[in-house]
C-alpha cells in the first residue's frame, strides 16, 4: 500500500510540467564545476534535474527517491539530454549501495521525514569514500518565517524537518568544513520554489 508520504510526491511529480524545473540547482552547479568528475549519489532526487546535469558534466550518476513518478520523469529528462543515470525507487535501507562507493553525495532539498533525517545522513556517510565531498542545500529552521509570508517559496511546514548548522555538524562530524552557512537566497525553481527563503549550505570533505 502506498504511504501518504509517497502518494504526496507521486501526485506532485505526475504532472507534465517539472515541479522544480529542468535546470540544476544553482548551488549544486556552482560546486560541481569546482570538482573533477567521478561517482555521485543524489538522494531524494525527484524528477532528476540535478542528476541529469551531473551526468551531462561527465559524472557517473546514481539517484533514488520514494516516488515512481519522479523516476519516470527523471529517466525521460535523461533521455532528452542523451545521458544515462541509474535511478532506484525505495527507502535508503532497502537499496544496495556499497561502502565508500561514491566520490560525492549531493543533498539538494532532500528533506527526509524528521524522525529519520539524521539517521539517513549517517547512513549516507558510509557510502562516501574518504576524501569524498558532500554538497548540501536545504531550508533552514528560520525558513518558516519566509514561508509564512510567501507559501510559493515551498519547503516543509514543520520545524523538525528543517535544518540548523548545529544539526549538520552533528550529522557529519569529523568532516573538513569547506563551507557551512545559513543565508537568505532568492529561489526561482519551477512551480514550487519561488521567492526568498532561508537555507543551510554545506560543502564538506570526508
User: DSSP states of 163-180 as a string?
Assistant: B-HHHHHHHSTT-EEEEE
pLDDT band at 2 (very low <50, low <70, confident <90, very high): low
Which whole number is the average pLDDT over 18-24? 97
Report the pLDDT value the prediction gives residue 4, as an integer from 0 to 100: 87
> Can you say whether residue 192 is alpha, beta or left, with left for phi > 0 and alpha for psi between -120 and 50 degrees?
alpha
Domain count, the chain: 1
* Mean pLDDT, all residues of the chain: 96
> Looking at residue 42, which CATH number applies to its domain?
3.40.50.150
Q: Residues 113-154: pLDDT tens digits?
A: 999 999 999 999 999 999 999 999 999 999 999 999 999 999
Q: Residues 30-41: pLDDT tens digits?
A: 999 999 999 999
Which whole number is the average pLDDT over 154-178? 97
For residue 119, what are the domain limits? 4-205
pTM of the model: 0.97
Q: Which residues of 92-108 are buried (b: 16+ CB within 10 A; e: fewer)?
A: beeeebeeebbbbbbbb
Residue 1 has pLDDT above 60, yes or no: no
pLDDT band at 5 (very low <50, low <70, confident <90, very high): confident
pLDDT band at 7 (very low <50, low <70, confident <90, very high): very high
Amino acid at each position: 500500500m502506498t504511504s501518504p508520504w509517497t502518494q504526496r510526491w507521486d501526485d506532485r511529480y505526475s504532472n507534465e510540467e517539472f515541479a522544480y524545473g529542468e535546470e540544476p540547482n544553482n548551488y549544486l552547479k556552482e560546486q560541481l564545476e569546482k570538482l573533477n568528475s567521478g561517482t555521485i549519489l543524489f538522494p531524494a532526487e525527484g524528477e532528476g534535474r540535478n542528476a541529469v546535469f551531473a551526468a551531462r558534466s561527465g559524472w557517473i550518476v546514481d539517484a533514488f527517491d520514494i516516488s515512481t513518478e519522479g523516476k519516470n520523469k527523471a529517466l525521460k529528462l535523461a533521455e532528452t539530454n542523451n545521458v544515462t543515470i541509474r535511478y532506484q525507487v525505495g527507502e535508503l535501507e532497502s537499496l544496495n549501495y556499497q561502502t565508500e562507493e561514491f566520490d560525492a553525495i549531493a543533498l539538494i532539498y532532500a528533506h527526509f521525514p524528521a524522525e529519520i533525517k539524521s539517521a539517513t545522513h549517517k547512513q549516507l556517510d558510509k557510502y562516501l569514500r574518504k576524501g569524498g565531498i558532500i554538497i548540501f542545500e536545504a531550508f533552514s529552521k528560520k525558513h518558516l518565517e519566509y514561508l509564512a509570508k510567501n507559501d510559493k517559496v515551498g519547503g516543509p511546514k514543520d520545524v523538525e524537518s528543517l535544518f540548523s548548522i548545529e544539526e549538520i555538524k552533528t550529522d557529519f562530524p569529523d568532516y573538513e568544513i569547506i563551507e557551512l552557512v545559513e543565508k537568505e537566497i532568492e529561489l526561482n525553481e519551477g512551480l514550487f520554489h519561488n521567492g526568498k527563503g532561508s537555507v543551510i549550505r554545506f560543502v564538506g570533505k570526508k
